[in-house]
């Protein structure tokens, strides 16, 4: 007969077996973001923290967020499997799909899959009011030969502006006298009369735009997009979609303004197991209050806009979650 010590040892072994099995099934993922000072990094930390707290113990799924140089580097990190998840600017999803822009040498990136639109990068084309006869993006015609700040060199702002200008039939290197400045310096240059236009795209409200209209409420205008102009700016990519800036988002803005927006989206490597992507997608949408408490940008995450502006195929795990929730998946991003 087994003595008491033997029985206790056997029981302990049985209890430890499930814990050992779970430990062996642990999957740790890296989420690439951008520089620490921007929005990508804290949002990435919020998502990784949520995954760690909600899924590590119950599903064996862990995630850590790392800083990076941004979307361009994140595509490389995904390709080389140094990161399995990443936050990307929507335009870089187009570059990855087509093998164009700054990754032309590397060619198309068939490993990249979409999970969800996180928050929008809203275009804010600003122009001196005296050069705005229509108040729409057509007024860029008045900027020929004038100084326009296209964004810091090699920034996402510069790439986005060049993409939009090309679709509108404008060669910015010929049409404007280009200036390469970030948001703050561009606003100061507008106020000083050193440039006549810029486009500090970002989440509403953009602090630099608020500053401009607070200091000079009648001297500048935000250019609007008609539905046709919005379609033209997108170039048939399904990336830029119409967006309405609510009234009173900025000083001296009593009426809503129609512009366009591209997504900042959560992407992953196609090789990540579908079950894990499903659990992460589900956990994200079921824990929005937790994410909202960490960073304000996550307040834009919703099922209603989750697929807006996505151009890369959905990961099957994410698609499964959306199908369960009755979300219609556009044909262009259905999993292959």
- Please state at what angle helix 90-98 crosses helix 71-79, rounded to 10 degrees: 50
How is residue 297 written in tokens? 């940008």
- Residue 120 to residue 167: CA distance in whole angstroms: 20
In this prediction, residue 20 carries a pLDDT of 35
Q: Model pTM?
A: 0.83
Q: What percent of the chain has pLDDT over 70?
A: 93
Helix (H) or strand (E) holding 126: strand 126-128
Helix (H) or strand (E) holding 175: helix 172-175
Domain 124-239 maps to which CATH number in 3.40.190.10, 3.40.50.1000, 3.40.50.150, 3.40.50.2300?
A: 3.40.190.10
Quick one: average pLDDT of 252-276?
Answer: 97
Q: Which value, in Å, is the radius of gyration of the alpha carbons in the chain? A: 23
Q: What is the DSSP string of 228-294?
A: HHHHHHHTTSS--EEEEEPTTSSTT--S-EEEEEEEEEEEEETTS-HHHHHHHHHHHHHTHHHHHHH
Condensed to tens digits (0 to 9), the pLDDT of residues 114-168 reads: 999 999 999 999 999 999 999 999 999 999 999 999 998 888 889 999 999 999 9
Domain parsing of the chain, residue ranges: 26-119+264-333, 124-239
Could you tell me which of 120, 168, 141, 81 has the C-alpha nearest to residue 306?
120
Condensed to tens digits (0 to 9), the pLDDT of residues 78-127 reads: 999 999 999 999 999 999 999 999 999 999 999 999 999 999 999 999 99
For the chain, give the mean pLDDT.
Answer: 91
At 207, is the pLDDT very low, low, confident or very high (cuts 50, 70, 90)?
confident
Domains 26-119+264-333 and 124-239 share a fold: yes
Q: What is the DSSP string of 32-62?
A: E---TTSSHHHHHHHHHHHHHHHHHHHH-EE
DSSP strand pairing (61-66 vs 27-32): parallel
In this prediction, residue 325 carries a pLDDT of 98
In this prediction, residue 114 carries a pLDDT of 98
φ/ψ bin of 193: left (φ > 0), alpha (ψ from -120 to 50), beta (otherwise): left
Architecture of domain 26-119+264-333: 3-Layer(aba) Sandwich (3.40)
């Amino acid at each position: 007969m087994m003595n008491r010590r033997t029985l206790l040892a056997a029981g302990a072994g049985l209890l430890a077996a499930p814990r050992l099995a779970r430990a062996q099934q642990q999957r740790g993922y890296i989420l690439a973001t951008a520089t620490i000072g921007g929005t990508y990094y804290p949002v990435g930390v919020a998502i990784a923290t949520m995954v760690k707290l909600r899924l590590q113990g119950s599903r064996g799924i862990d995630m850590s967020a790392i800083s990076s140089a941004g979307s361009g580097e994140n595509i490389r990190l995904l390709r080389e499997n140094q990161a399995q998840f990443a936050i990307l600017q929507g335009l870089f999803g187009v570059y990855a799909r087509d093998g164009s822009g700054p990754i032309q040498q590397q060619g198309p990136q068939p490993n990249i899959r979409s999970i969800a639109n996180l928050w929008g990068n809203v275009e804010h084309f600003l122009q001196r009011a005296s050069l705005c006869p229509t108040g729409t993006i057509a007024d860029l015609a008045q900027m020929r030969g004038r100084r326009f700040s296209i964004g810091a060199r090699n920034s996402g702002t510069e790439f986005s502006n060049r993409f939009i200008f090309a679709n509108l039939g404008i060669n910015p290197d010929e049409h404007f006298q280009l200036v390469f400045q970030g948001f703050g310096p561009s606003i100061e240059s507008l106020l000083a009369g050193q440039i006549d236009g810029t486009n500090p795209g970002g989440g509403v409200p953009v602090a630099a735009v608020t500053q401009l209209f607070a200091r000079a409420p009648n001297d500048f205008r935000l250019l609007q997009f008609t539905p046709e102009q919005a379609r033209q700016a997108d170039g048939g990519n399904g990336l830029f979609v119409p967006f309405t800036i609510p009234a009173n988002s900025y000083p001296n803005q009593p009426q809503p303004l129609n512009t366009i927006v591209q997504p900042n989206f959560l992407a992953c490597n196609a090789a990540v197991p579908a079950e894990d992507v499903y659990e992460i997608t589900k956990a994200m949408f079921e824990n929005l209050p937790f994410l909202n408490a960490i960073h304000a940008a996550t307040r834009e995450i919703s099922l209603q806009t989750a697929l807006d502006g996505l151009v890369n195929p959905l990961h099957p795990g994410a698609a499964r979650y959306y199908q369960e929730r009755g979300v219609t998946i556009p044909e262009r991003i259905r999993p292959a």
